[in-house]
């Protein structure tokens, strides 16, 4: 059944800010609001963990140095998904290694592992192969292991990171894990798990109980890392994860565990999307309109698209879309299909939820060429996951709207020469 979309709106103050940004920096660009970034962090820092809490930002959601620095100043730690993200956080944003945890699909080289240990970066082994390499390189040390507890919760199969269809973490191989601990004299100090980007609090309740069962097997464990995946509603009909409810349940579970075992376990959480998604927007301009006649569709073409947000063609992700008129004329409500700037039939922003192959017209204000078009929920997995330079599009600017209203440029528009800067033409082809 087709969902009759409500017409998305923006607060009046933000409408004027977007107009100012378009005038000063042009479009397309990414826009983040500092006050929203701060508010989202405080929500997680209020989780009533009874024996210590670390909030780690999953930096793959948004790796912009300015945001990393803002969160660093607020006491946030960081979750890196690759070795390169560790380097980027330290050298690009000045983050201390001791505030970073690497939880990766990569099997690290011995040299990389030595680098991590030297810089106090916490390492999480996510497979037996990773655990073996770490044990050979750093025998007799502490280690964190990511376990696949067999529970998955995602809003699509692509965002489910637990269960038998997921490659993340070690699944039902306790004997092999313990043999490695004994062989390399490793001490497990933290248990890590992550079930996916869903919003089901019952699944989270089940997950922490399973995690504590593993903790109970290892007296040396002092920390339980529950990962991230806290869904944020983008559309009016969607629901966000109830952080207050989940946080309260985590606290109760940890207190009960302490009562039963005498062990006080610290809590780590690794939100990514929840910290940045609704604090960010993609600001574009409408550059063309096309109609395919009776029984067809009316298309709006914008100067952004899948090159700035790959989530839509990948997942059928839903993002609020708002027209910002550039004149004062009366506008009716109409239905449009919004098409991006890339030469791809799949560069459509208005698709069926979870089914990117089907277009799904949206209700919005009547649009004119030259109007602004704002894409909401643009703070997470947009700039960081963009297919850079497709169709030789430049990487676009990022703007931070400060609490006092000042506009700060976080990233300049990529000079077009940089697109081919690292290409090399063999000598015989230069003649």
Q: What is the per-residue pLDDT for 315?
A: 86
pLDDT digit string, tens, across residues 271-281: 999 999 999 99
pLDDT tens for 385-408 read 999 899 999 999 999 999 999 999
What's the confidence (pLDDT) of residue 255? 97
Question: CATH 3.20.20.10 region(s) of the chain?
Answer: 34-276
Q: Which CATH number fits domain 34-276: 3.30.230.10, 3.40.50.720, 3.20.20.10, 3.40.50.300?
A: 3.20.20.10
158 has pLDDT over 50:
no
Mean pLDDT of the 33-55 span: 97
Q: Is the pLDDT of residue 156 over 80?
A: no
Q: Quickly state the pLDDT bin for 78 (edges 50, 70, 90).
A: very high
How does pLDDT run across 172-217, given as a tens digit for each residue?
578 888 899 999 999 999 999 977 655 566 777 788 888 999 999 9
C-alpha to C-alpha distance for 334 and 362, rounded to whole angstroms = 8
Taking residues 303-310, report their average pLDDT. 96
Residue spans in the chain of domains classed CATH 2.40.37.10 = 12-31+278-419
Looking at CATH, the fold of the domain delimited by 12-31+278-419 is given as Lyase, Ornithine Decarboxylase; Chain A, domain 1 (2.40.37)
So what's the pLDDT on residue 25?
97
Q: What HEC string does the chain produce? A: CCCCCCCCCCCHHHHHHHHHHHHHHCCCEEEEEHHHHHHHHHHHHCCCCCCCEEEEEEHHHCCCHHHHHHHHHCCCEEEECCHHHHHHHHHHHCCCHHHEEEECCCCCCHHHHHHHHHCCCEEEECCHHHHHHHHHHCCCCEEEEEEECCCCCCCCHHHECCCCCCCCCEECCHHHHHHHHHHHCCEEEEEECCCECCCCHHHHHHHHHHHHHHHHHCCCCCEEECCCCCCCCCCCCCCCCCHHHHHHHHHHHHHHHHHHHCCCCEEEECCCHHHHHHHEEEEEEEEEEEECCCCCCEEEEECCCCCCCCHHHHHCCCCCEEEECCCCCCCCEEEEEEECCCCCCCCECCEECCEEEEECCEEEECCCCCCEEEECCCCCCCCCCCCCCHHHCCCCCEEEECCCCCEEEEECCCCHHHHCCCCCCCHHHCC
Check residue 163 and give its pLDDT.
Answer: 42
How confident is the model over 331-349, as pLDDT tens digits? 999 999 999 999 999 999 9
* Tens digit of each residue's pLDDT (9 = 90 or more) over 224-271: 999 887 888 888 888 788 888 889 999 999 999 999 999 999 999 999
Cβ neighbours of residue 37 under 8 Å, at least 6 residues apart? 67, 70, 71, 275, 276, 279, 379
**Strand pairing class (122-125; 351-352):** unpaired
How does residue 171 score in pLDDT terms, banded at 50, 70 and 90? Answer: low
For residues 163 and 369, the model is more confident at 369
């Amino acid at each position: 059944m087709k969902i009759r979309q409500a017409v998305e709106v923006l607060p009046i103050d933000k409408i004027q800010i977007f107009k100012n940004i378009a005038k000063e920096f042009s479009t397309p660009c990414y826009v983040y609001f500092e006050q929203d970034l701060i508010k989202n962090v405080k929500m997680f820092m209020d989780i009533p963990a009874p024996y210590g809490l670390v909030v780690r930002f999953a930096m793959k959601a948004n790796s912009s140095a300015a945001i990393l620095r803002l969160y660093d100043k607020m006491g946030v730690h960081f979750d890196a998904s690759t070795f390169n993200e560790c380097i980027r956080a330290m050298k690009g944003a000045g983050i201390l290694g001791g505030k970073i945890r690497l939880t990766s699909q990569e099997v690290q080289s011995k040299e990389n592992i030595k680098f991590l240990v030297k810089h106090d970066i916490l390492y999480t082994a996510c497979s037996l192969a990773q655990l073996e390499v770490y044990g050979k390189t750093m025998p007799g040390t502490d280690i964190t292991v990511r376990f696949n507890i067999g529970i998955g919760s995602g809003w699509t199969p692509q965002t489910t990171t637990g269960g038998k269809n997921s490659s993340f973490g070690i699944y039902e191989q306790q004997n092999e894990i313990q043999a490695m601990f004994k062989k390399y004299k490793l001490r497990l100090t933290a248990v890590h798990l992550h079930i996916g980007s869903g919003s089901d609090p019952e699944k989270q309740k089940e997950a922490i109980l399973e995690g504590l069962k593993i903790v109970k097997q290892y007296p040396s464990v002092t920390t339980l890392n529950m990962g991230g995946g806290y869904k944020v509603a983008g559309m009016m009909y969607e629901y966000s994860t109830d952080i207050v409810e989940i946080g309260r349940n985590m606290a109760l579970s940890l207190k009960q565990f302490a009562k039963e075992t005498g062990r006080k376990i610290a809590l780590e959480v690794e939100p990514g999307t929840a910290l940045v998604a609704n604090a960010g927007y993609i600001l574009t301009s409408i550059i063309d309109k096309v109609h395919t006649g009776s029984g067809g569709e009316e298309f709006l073409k914008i100067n952004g698209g899948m090159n700035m947000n790959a989530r839509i063609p990948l997942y059928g992700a839903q993002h609020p879309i708002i027209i910002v008129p550039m004149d004062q004329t009366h506008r009716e409500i109409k239905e449009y299909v919004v098409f991006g700037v890339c030469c791809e039939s799949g560069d459509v922003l208005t698709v069926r939820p979870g089914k990117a192959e089907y277009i799904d017209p949206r209700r919005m204000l009547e649009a004119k060429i030259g109007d602004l078009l704002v894409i909401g929920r643009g703070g997470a997995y947009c700039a960081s996951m963009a297919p850079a330079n497709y169709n030789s599009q430049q990487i676009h600017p990022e703007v931070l709207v400060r609490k006092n209203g000042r506009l700060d440029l976080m990233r300049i528009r990529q000079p077009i020469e940089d697109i081919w800067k690292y290409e090399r033409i063999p000598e015989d082809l230069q003649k």
